[in-house]
Amino acid sequence: MTEEEFDQTLRSFVKRRPFFPFEVELLDGRRIVIANRHVAFGGGVAGFLSRKEGLVDFNNEEVRSFKYLSPETVDDDSAGLVGC
């Protein structure tokens, strides 16, 4: 995924109204659950603070896909890396 594609896609997920939690699937199979819109990104890199793991960061070269999650299944405590 190019830096531009990454930034545009992430922007559309973060800015969605109403906000829906989403998941970022990485090329190595790990998944990152993002439970709220508090994500800093730009230039192909992104990061946010997880209650479980502290800083979680990722970049355009690691990402396979983005997908929305059901709001009922995600809260701030579930945000972070899954399957690592």
- The mean pLDDT of the chain is 92
Summarize pLDDT for 29-70 with one digit per residue, the tens: 999 999 999 999 999 999 999 988 899 999 999 999 999 999
Query: What string of DSSP letters covers 46-69?
Result: EEEEETTTEEEEEETTTEEEEEE-
3-state SS track over 2-31: CHHHHHHHHHHHHHCCCCCCEEEEECCCCE
Q: Give the percent of the chain with pLDDT over 70.
A: 98
Tell me the domain boundaries of the chain. Answer: 3-82
Which CATH number, 2.30.30.100, 3.30.465.10, 1.20.1050.10, 1.20.58.1880, labels domain 3-82?
Answer: 2.30.30.100
pLDDT band at residue 83 under the 50/70/90 scheme = low
Q: Is the pTM of this model over 0.85?
A: yes
